[in-house]
Amino acid sequence: MVHRPTILERQGDNMCSWLRTLGFGFLVWLIPFVVAVGLSGVRETNRPLFESIMPVVVTVSVVACSLIYFPHVRSEWAKEAARLGVIWMIISLVIDLPLMLNPPISMTCIEYIHDVGITYLIIPAVTVGMGLAIGRANRASGDGAA
């Protein structure tokens, strides 16, 4: 007899998925934040170098978290990747905005978008690219449909 998951079992899977999504989203924000704090001296003395380093750090953190996250995804990789990228980007923006718009930093919204906000578009770009690549690889190997 085939076991069909109960509503509670499905909700448990969804809760685990949401906790994993939110947890990795927090890490995607935290890793670049810690690096930025550590490089605050570089930010003051060599701003172009700092501005070159930070998108790389964001990209590496998204790739690392995605590599850990995606093995748990069994189908619809592109759809999951788009959802994941948007959620992770929103998490970064929601955590960042109060920190950046209020003292001691006190950026304006426009300054924030120019300085930090646009960089966060890397997040869905990376997750969608990975999701499409995984879907393509799985279709080629016959392991499922993207």
> What pLDDT digit, counting tens, does each position of 12-36 carry?
566 678 999 999 999 999 999 999 9
**Is 4 a residue whose pLDDT tops 90?**
no
Query: Given this model, what pLDDT does residue 144 score?
Result: 59
Rg (CA), the chain: 18
Q: In the prediction, which pLDDT does 14 show? A: 64
Give pLDDT tens digits for 60-116: 999 999 999 999 888 899 999 999 999 999 999 999 999 999 999 999 999 999 999
- DSSP conformational letter for 100: H
Give residue 53's pLDDT band: very low, low, confident or very high (50, 70, 90): very high
| Predicted structure pTM score | 0.86
Q: What is the pLDDT of residue 8?
A: 41
Write out pLDDT tens, residues 36-50: 999 999 999 999 999
